[in-house]
Amino acid sequence: MSQALPYPSAPAQSESRSVLAIPAFRKLWKSMAFSSFGDWLGLLATTALAQELAGGNYKKANFAIAGVFIVRLLPAVLLGPIAGVIADRFDRRRLMIVCDILRFGFYLSIPIVHNYIWLYTATVIVEAITLFWSPAKEASVPNLVPKEKLESANQMTLLASYGSAPVAALMFAILAGVAATLTSISNPRYASTADLALYIDAISFLYTAWVVFQLQTIPKGAASKSAVNDNIGKSLIDGFKFVSQSKVISGLILGMLGAFFAAGAVIGLARTFVGDLNAGDAAYGVLFGSVFTGLALGIWLGPKIFGQFSRRRIFGISLTISSAFLIVLSLVSNLVLAILMTIFLGAFAGLSWVTGFTMLGMEVEDEVRGRIFAFVQSLIRVSLVLVLAIAPVIAASIGRHQFTINNVHLRYSGAAFTMFGAGIIGLVVGIFSYKRMKDRPNISFFSDIMAAFRGELGGITGQAHKGIFIAFEGGEGSGKSTQAQLLKEYLVSVGETVVVTREPGGTVLGKQLRKILLDPKTGAISPRAEALLYAADRANHVFSLIEPALTRGDIVITDRYLDSSIAYQGAGRILLPSEVARISRWATESLTPTLTFIMDLPAEIGLSRLDSVDRLEQEPLAFHERVRREFLNLANVDPERYFVVDATQSVAAISQQIQERVSTIPLLKINREKAQK
């Protein structure tokens, strides 16, 4: 519980195998996995022991469990930075060995002493010791793997830390059966489920100490500065200043806290809730494991299943659904249904969590990303302390109640009432986050669901890249090429590297296809064949020019992109725009512009500006009016990505509007500030 909360996504399978092929890291990873397994088992054991020592008193049991969570989390909140600085002065390998031996001794003593005072005292000491062990461990990993594999190593470390929770829960359930057998043939004073779990927990730390003792490759030296300088108070203050300035980021972080709030309420109340269902330690282990099983499923499968949806939308919706399952969970009185609801709750909370951290990485500028992650991590720690500590206290204060409706007797406890309240709060937070981030406000989420079934949402999230991608779209004679060149000159003047291109014709292949597509001598082309030729040009354009430039961090400005195919071959040729869009998304691997300018001009005016006409320009006026309406429809669907410009204005006025809109792009804003300095 004292471990830092993760945010990277799971590593690719090949990457994980590669990093585990390093013998020294593989040994350390196995020891960490077993140690984390023991730590989760210890959490289950200490909460179960707290209830056991309550002797059947409902209020006393809830207060005791709240105390366990407080003493496990509070040292990390209050003493983390201090302990890290002290740990920085010791030899890492020796420090890790000593810490593991001490944790072995203290966990072994808890079932032997068997009282509240020592349960809390030993837990506080163990968590304080862990604050010294963690920086040493984090600083040792970079010395065991090559630099290019460090990210995969860190992700595997997180997998060991949190992936072992469901395994620990399953083991706790098994130990409940073993304890039942042992107590029938021996002294139950030392053979309860909690006692057996604590013995195994203690052994896990002894095993970790032995593994680290064998790892001579861990060098002497200080822990990493990033680990020891994690001042929670400073992170909270700096992060709050930045977050308060952004509606999207504030809604995102509030929603992430809501996800942990829902999951934390279940974890904090699981033991008493299971007791209210007349179940024992085995059921507690299963319910506890169900939360983390659901989280793992949501993190692993969620992005694959809901990959077509807008991240901003799916974030708020998944949080809302998770809270709804928490409300349902509080109302059920059947253990099997409770476990099922918990898995679904965890799955949608996990989807919300992984989506939130992914969005933080994409929405927050690189200059402040580390600060914001530190802020979120610190905020989550504090929030977890509050939820895990306060939820059992509230449940204890409410107590047990019975209701009779039409001769039907319903019994609900404080745990159920508290989870119901937490679900309501989470529901409100989810809806607030959904509206706060206001993604595509003119389109209902139900419409998105129907479009996803038709395969029409693939381009919403697009790909992440370092550069900025800007597209100019519009009808004939609207001034796209002129404004693209003026924007390039402006951006170059503020120190940006800019690539200007066009479709078709931005590549060698594109120039040849342009002759075929636009030369009047080509004659009539099947609308479907025309759409496919444009898609072929676009696929090669992205592969050979646009994507490499964006990877370098350049700004790419293109005169026409996939929206032109949707408008011209879709609406103009009277094909289904959704089918044309699907072809282009497949061709471009869903690469979507950061910003698209729609140069809006009545078709009649635009055509009158032309000196000569190509194969498309010579189409009748009705064709070009359909094209114009489709461009405006696209802008109406996603107003955050599109910017409609009245192209009847002067060239200078249009250029000024475009520059002002482009200057609001976060990454560009940072680069301009650098240029001014």
Whether 302 and 430 share a structural domain: yes
> Which DSSP state fits 405?
E
- The SS3 assignment for 216 reads coil
pLDDT tens digits, residue range 446-482?
666 666 665 555 444 445 567 889 999 999 999 999 9
Q: Give the H/E segment covering residue 567.
A: none
Task: Report residue 536's pLDDT band, with 50, 70 and 90 as the boundaries.
Answer: very high
Which residues touch 521 (CB under 8 Å, ≥6 apart)?
none
User: What pLDDT is stored for residue 295 in this prediction?
Assistant: 77
Give the up-direction half-sphere exposure of residue 150: CA atoms within 13 A in the CB hemisphere.
9
Sign of the alpha-carbon dihedral angle for 664, 669, 672, 677: positive
User: What pLDDT is stored for residue 351 in this prediction?
Assistant: 82
Question: Which single residue is written with the structure tokens 């008493």?
Answer: 272
Axis-axis angle for helices 281-305, 247-276 (nearest 10):
150
Per the model's pLDDT, the better-predicted residue between 145 and 507 turns out to be: 507
User: What pLDDT is stored for residue 81 in this prediction?
Assistant: 57
* Rounded mean pLDDT, 417-441: 79
Query: Which of 225-229, 273-277, 283-287, 337-341 comes out lowest in average pLDDT?
Result: 225-229
Whether 358 and 403 share a structural domain: yes
In a domain, 614, yes or no: yes
And the tokens for 593? Answer: 């512009």
Decide: 156 and 16 in contact? Cβ < 8 Å: yes
Whether 66 and 169 share a structural domain: yes
> Which DSSP state fits 437?
T
User: What pLDDT is stored for residue 131 in this prediction?
Assistant: 76
Is pLDDT above 50 for 227? no
Is pLDDT above 60 for 384? yes
Q: Domain total for the chain?
A: 3
- pLDDT, the chain, mean: 77
Beta strand 498-502 pairing with 408-412: unpaired
Domain boundary among 415, 439, 463: 439
User: What pLDDT is stored for residue 229 in this prediction?
Assistant: 44
Round to whole Å and give the CA distance between 150 and 156.
10
Burial zone of 621 (CB within 10 Å; 0-12 exposed, 13-18 middle, 19+ buried): exposed
Per the model's pLDDT, the better-predicted residue between 57 and 555 turns out to be: 555
User: What pLDDT is stored for residue 653 in this prediction?
Assistant: 94
- The SS3 assignment for 11 reads coil
User: What pLDDT is stored for residue 13 in this prediction?
Assistant: 46
User: What pLDDT is stored for residue 159 in this prediction?
Assistant: 66
User: What pLDDT is stored for residue 668 in this prediction?
Assistant: 66
pLDDT tens digits, residue range 301-360?
776 677 666 677 778 888 888 889 989 988 888 888 888 988 898 888 878 877 776 666
In a domain, 422, yes or no: yes
3-state SS string for 52-63: HHCCCCHHHHHH
Task: Report residue 277's pLDDT band, with 50, 70 and 90 as the boundaries.
Answer: confident
Per the model's pLDDT, the better-predicted residue between 610 and 14 turns out to be: 610
Is pLDDT above 70 for 669? no
Whether 63 and 186 share a structural domain: yes
Whether 175 and 98 share a structural domain: yes
Query: Which of 33-47, 245-259, 651-665 comes out lowest in average pLDDT?
Result: 245-259
User: What pLDDT is stored for residue 19 in this prediction?
Assistant: 73
User: What pLDDT is stored for residue 375 in this prediction?
Assistant: 63
- The SS3 assignment for 7 reads coil
User: What pLDDT is stored for residue 658 in this prediction?
Assistant: 94
Task: Report residue 557's pLDDT band, with 50, 70 and 90 as the boundaries.
Answer: very high
Domain boundary among 439, 467, 502: 439
In a domain, 181, yes or no: yes
Whether 138 and 193 share a structural domain: yes
Sign of the alpha-carbon dihedral angle for 360, 362, 363, 369: positive
In a domain, 448, yes or no: no
Domain boundary among 184, 208, 230: 230
Q: Which amino acid is at 21?
A: A
* Rounded mean pLDDT, 187-209: 81
Decide: 387 and 336 in contact? Cβ < 8 Å: no
User: What pLDDT is stored for residue 228 in this prediction?
Assistant: 41
In a domain, 483, yes or no: yes
Whether 211 and 253 share a structural domain: no
Is pLDDT above 70 for 589? yes
Per the model's pLDDT, the better-predicted residue between 16 and 616 turns out to be: 616
Decide: 459 and 592 in contact? Cβ < 8 Å: yes
- The SS3 assignment for 642 reads strand
Task: Report residue 488's pLDDT band, with 50, 70 and 90 as the boundaries.
Answer: very high
Burial zone of 425 (CB within 10 Å; 0-12 exposed, 13-18 middle, 19+ buried): middle
Q: Give the H/E segment covering residue 402.
A: strand 401-405
Strands (E), 587-641: 595-600
And the tokens for 507? Answer: 């590549």
Is pLDDT above 80 for 364? no
Task: Report residue 12's pLDDT band, with 50, 70 and 90 as the boundaries.
Answer: very low
CATH of the domain at 630: 3.40.50.300
Whether 370 and 478 share a structural domain: no
Helices (H), 54-192: 58-87, 92-113, 116-140, 150-162, 165-185
CATH of the domain at 403: 1.20.1250.20
Query: Which of 80-84, 270-274, 453-457, 568-572 comes out lowest in average pLDDT?
Result: 453-457
> Which of left, alpha, beta for 279 (phi over 0: left; psi -120 to 50: alpha)?
beta
In a domain, 645, yes or no: yes
And the tokens for 346? Answer: 């965890």
Check whether the bond before 188 is cis (ω within 30° of 0): no
pLDDT tens digits, residue range 69-105?
777 777 766 666 566 566 666 777 888 899 899 999 9
User: What pLDDT is stored for residue 408 in this prediction?
Assistant: 64
Round to whole Å and give the CA distance between 192 and 448.
52
Q: How far is CA 146 from the centre of its chain?
A: 26
Round to whole Å and give the CA distance between 280 and 337.
16
Task: Report residue 370's pLDDT band, with 50, 70 and 90 as the boundaries.
Answer: low
Q: Give the H/E segment covering residue 247.
A: helix 247-276
User: What pLDDT is stored for residue 539 in this prediction?
Assistant: 92
Whether 509 and 375 share a structural domain: no
Task: Report residue 152's pLDDT band, with 50, 70 and 90 as the boundaries.
Answer: low
Listed residue (190, 167, 215, 173) closest to 23, CA to CA: 215
In a domain, 447, yes or no: no
The percentage of the chain sitting over the pLDDT mark of 70, rounded to a whole number, equals 73
Beta strand 401-405 pairing with 408-412: antiparallel
In a domain, 348, yes or no: yes
User: What pLDDT is stored for residue 265 in this prediction?
Assistant: 76
Listed residue (103, 117, 128, 109) closest to 53, CA to CA: 117
Query: Which of 156-165, 482-491, 572-581 comes out lowest in average pLDDT?
Result: 156-165
And the tokens for 604? Answer: 């009649």
Round to whole Å and give the CA distance between 182 and 188.
8
* Rounded mean pLDDT, 648-653: 94
- Which range, 104-113, 262-271, 426-435, 569-578, has the best average confidence (pLDDT)? 104-113
User: DSSP letter string over 61-87?
Assistant: HHHHHHHHHHHHHHHHHHHHHHHHHHH
Whether 88 and 120 share a structural domain: yes
Listed residue (368, 358, 388) closest to 265, CA to CA: 388
> Which DSSP state fits 141?
G
Residue-range definition of the domain harbouring residue 138: 1-230
Is pLDDT above 50 for 216? yes
* Rounded mean pLDDT, 577-599: 85
Per the model's pLDDT, the better-predicted residue between 83 and 277 turns out to be: 277
Whether 331 and 399 share a structural domain: yes
Whether 269 and 295 share a structural domain: yes
Q: Which amino acid is at 554?
A: D
